[in-house]
A and B are shown apart, each in its own frame.
Chain A
Amino acid sequence: MDLPIHIFVALAFIGWFSGLMGAVLLVHHRVLIGDVLSHSVLAGVAFVFLLFLEVSFPLLIAGAIASTLLAALLIEFIKNRTPLKEDVVLGIVLAFMFAIGIAFLAVSQKIPSIEKAMLNTLLLGEVSAILPNEVPYMVIASIVGSLVIWLLYKGWFFTGFDPVFGQTQQVPINRLRKILLFIVASGILLTAYISGVVLAVGLLIAPALIGRFFSTRLYSTLLLSGLSGAVLAVLGGIVSAKVEGLSTGPLIIFSAGLIGLLTILFSPHYGIVLHRIRYVLFKWSRGQENILRAAYKVLERTGNTSYAFSLEELKQACDDPPPSWTILLKVLEMKGFVKQSGNKWLLTPQGLEKAKRLTRLHRLLELYLSEIVKIAPEKVHSYAESLEHIITPEVEQRLYELLRDKQYDPHKKPVPWNGSG
């Protein structure tokens, strides 16, 4: 199946606009509204069928917009008047509007003259049905919609991230939220045209998640979402043109969903896999630091001049045991901080230096927390325990300067300054 060029133009523009709508909805945590609105299209279209018993493009659009607007109004109305959570309101309106659609459809199917194929197209989307003379309208509508979203950029910033602060700045938060709903109510028709009403929300969500997971700022999220929407839609079109027998709409949503899932798993900043790896690495480096500090504690107690300690002594002295003693001791040995001799372990000079630094940091943090932050001395140990692993060298230096004349920590243990101990 060859797709003519005008279809790709439509795909690119609608994909861009869908991604943009999706991104704004996503940062408002309202992306499933897209699903409710697109399912409502059915009711309006089926109603127009029943009323006029014919298929004409402007009439269908009017019916579809009327029903998505009705759904949007219902959502706002129920949400404002009841304490129900938004997701529940969405479920209620979705079931209601979709049931109306199905009822109209069932009635219309008793009338023989109506083309059922048309309704199937509506439900599941049929890209190849886009005619060249419809494309300019789609392009213009996408551009207008995108412009409206860009014009209100500052507003999304407040409504999406900090509505309370927005209210103090005289930003009309509630009106903006309504405007967003109505932009999507009209715009979702374009999306539904290429993907069908059931899948339309997929073309909103996948690009939006890609944009959001790859960037930390709102404008880059919007730009990236729009771009990935356009690229994904065109990509789906190209693949469906190459592979015989696959419908374009589902193919677009499938590939978009796949790339969206991969993004959630592997994106650099928020991706689950990298996040997990960073977490494990942190746990292991924390384990090494805890072992060294426990070793210092043991030596402090025994006063062993050859800096030797046993594993049992170490385990007793450590409050936050590492994931694995044997592996981490081996790692520390490779790094040259400890040495094994018989069934004892020795701290090397570098190891001693590092253990001393970690202990100093821990005790200074305890001092800081108890004397300056005024936290009860019996609580400071566990706070310091978690803070000491994430302190930057700059903060460490400031602590040294701030507390340089202190000799003892809140538990009356000596602070190991350089040159002492």
Chain B
Amino acid sequence: MEWFWVILVLLLVGSAASLLGSFIVLKGFGMLGDAISHAVLPAIVIGYLIGGIYDNNWFLILSIALAVLTSLTIEWLYQRTRMYPDGIMGLIFTFLFALGLLMIDLWTYSVDLDPECVLFGEAAYIPFSFFLIGNALIPKQLILSVIIWLIILIFTFAGYRPLALSTFDRIYAHSIKMHPSLWQYSISALVAVLTVIAIESVGIVLLLSILVVPASIAFLWAKRLHSMIFLAQIVNATLIFLGLLFALYVDIPISAGIAILGGLALLTITILKKK
């Protein structure tokens, strides 16, 4: 039963990530997930300080708040300076990660927190905490994954037209009052929420990988946005199943296995592709 949950969570988070991934790949924000995943460390430390290590929701609430705040700050600083979006992003996330490490240093007696587990997170070792719904025990991570998956699914389908327009022709979108920067902010905020949920459920490495790899592979083939989004979903599911088998076969962490396979798949396509 445990395995069933793991696979289901992987598929849901993967599907949500590759939905957002299409817009991220087209816009070129490939490092946003990396930045946000590092930036939430202070919130995680404070969350653990308030609620202890096991089964507390402070960690989740504070991290989501900090993640959304970080992504909005990055976007805002860039809108204001119009200089070096990559530099500003790097500055903020290293600053916050360093702050988190210093907080661990300061309160190391009360926090038994390993920064490695934040960075590595592993799907198969998720300490599932279960809720009783009706007659079934449902893991918390599954509920969170379903919620975020539904939110992102509805967001993408309901906002398909403005999203596509603000991705491809921002100026036109602006001129017909579609508020492209608002849609931009929403994508950043959703990546932030998804990242925090992924830290707890599938691990950061895997999230970084599925945010960009399936959508990039789809991008190399598809000619239209909707076929790209659809193709990314298929690539994502295939990668997750094959990666799972690969990881079990060579006995490495599942998230690492899927991420490695994803990288290899993209490399193979790049090599085979005619220039």
CB distance from B24 to the nearest CB of A (A): 7
Partner of A258, one of B95, B205, B270: B95
Partner of B84, one of A85, A124, A201, A212: A212
Q: Please determine whether A103 and B216 come into contact, CB atoms closer than 8 angstroms.
A: no
Q: How far is the CA of A74 from the CA of B264 in the complex (A)?
A: 11
Q: Would you call the interface of chain A mostly helix, strand, loop, or mixed? A: helix
New contact pairs (9) apart from A88-B24, A94-B34, CB-CB < 8 Å: A78-B267, A99-B205, A102-B255, A103-B253, A124-B115, A204-B90, A206-B91, A247-B101, A272-B80
Q: How far is the CA of A86 from the CA of B216 in the complex (A)?
A: 12
Q: Which residues of A contact B96 (CB under 8 A)?
A: 257
Partner of B262, one of A82, A95, A254: A95
- When C-beta atoms are compared, the residue in chain A nearest to B247 turns out to be A103
Q: Which residues of B contact A91 (CB under 8 A)?
A: 30-31, 33-34, 208, 211-212
Q: How far is the CA of A99 from the CA of B120 in the complex (A)?
A: 9
Task: Give the interface size bracket for B toward A.
Answer: 35 or more
- When C-beta atoms are compared, the residue in chain A nearest to B258 turns out to be A99
Q: Which residues of B contact A245 (CB under 8 A)?
A: 105-106, 108
Q: Please determine whether B257 and A103 come into contact, CB atoms closer than 8 angstroms.
A: yes
CB distance from B103 to the nearest CB of A (A): 9
Nearest 4 A/B pairs, CB to CB: A257-B95, A96-B263, A202-B94, A91-B30
CB distance from B260 to the nearest CB of A (A): 5
Q: Which residues of B contact A247 (CB under 8 A)?
A: 101-102, 105
Q: Please determine whether A250 and B29 come into contact, CB atoms closer than 8 angstroms.
A: no
Q: Which residues of B contact A89 (CB under 8 A)?
A: 30
Partner of A246, one of B81, B102, B260: B102
Interface presence of B98 (CB below 8 A)? yes
Q: How far is the CA of A251 from the CA of B97 in the complex (A)?
A: 11
Q: Which residues of B contact A31 (CB under 8 A)?
A: 84, 86-87, 90
Partner of A78, one of B253, B257, B260, B270: B270
Interface presence of A184 (CB below 8 A)? no
Q: How far is the CA of A161 from the CA of B86 in the complex (A)?
A: 16
In A241-299, which residues have CB < 8 Å from any B CB? 245-247, 249-254, 256-258, 260-261, 264, 270, 272, 275-276
Partner of A205, one of B87, B205, B219, B250: B87
Q: How far is the CA of A61 from the CA of B250 in the complex (A)?
A: 27
